[in-house]
């Protein structure tokens, strides 16, 4: 597998993009739906560590897998699932150069990674 080398400017741009995306979603989605227990802002916080893999490839960060696991645990209602789904779709659409085929592999990669590391989230 080919490993990408990032310049300092590319790393800084990706970091800024992650922070800006998280902040925008936190402010835009401040109002929550009454019967939902999850907010779009929480979805962003859970999945922000996944952005570098979604854009650049390489190795899925362990924090990304932890975020996916936490997101799955936080979806208690159908409304939670709808909020999570729309937040992911809207957020991904705002990330330049996101590779949808790559991000669709997160689940499988994380199941294997979590089984190997055997860490506890809670």
Q: Say yes or no: 46 and 22 in one domain.
A: no
Q: pLDDT digit string (tens) for 27-58?
A: 555 444 446 689 999 999 999 999 999 999 98
Q: Say yes or no: 73 and 98 in one domain.
A: yes
Sign of CA dihedral 70, 76, 82, 83: negative
Sign of CA dihedral 2, 65, 46, 83: positive
Q: Say yes or no: 110 and 59 in one domain.
A: yes
Q: pLDDT digit string (tens) for 64-81?
A: 999 998 998 999 899 999
Q: Say yes or no: 44 and 84 in one domain.
A: yes
Q: How far is Cα 89 from Cα 40, in angstroms, rounded to an integer?
A: 11
Q: pTM of the full predicted structure?
A: 0.65
Q: Say yes or no: 13 and 55 in one domain.
A: no
Q: Say yes or no: 12 and 46 in one domain.
A: no
Q: Say yes or no: 21 and 63 in one domain.
A: no
Q: How far is Cα 89 from Cα 100, in angstroms, rounded to an integer?
A: 10
Which is higher by pLDDT, 117 or 90? 90
Question: What range does the domain containing 115 cover?
Answer: 40-121
Q: What's the domain count of the chain?
A: 2
Q: Say yes or no: 18 and 48 in one domain.
A: no
Q: Are 18 and 48 in contact (CB under 8 A)?
A: yes
């Amino acid at each position: 597998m080919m490993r990408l080398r990032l310049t300092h400017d590319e790393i800084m741009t990706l970091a800024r993009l992650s922070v800006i995306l998280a902040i925008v979603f936190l402010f835009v989605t401040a109002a929550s739906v009454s019967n939902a227990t999850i907010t779009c802002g929480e979805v962003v916080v859970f999945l922000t560590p996944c952005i570098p893999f979604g854009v650049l490839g390489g190795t899925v960060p362990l924090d990304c897998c932890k975020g996916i696991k936490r997101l799955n645990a936080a979806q208690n209602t159908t409304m939670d699932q709808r909020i999570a789904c729309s937040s992911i779709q809207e957020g991904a659409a705002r990330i330049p150069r996101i590779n949808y085929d790559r991000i669709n592999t997160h689940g499988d990669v994380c199941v294997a990674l979590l089984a190997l590391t055997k860490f506890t989230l809670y």
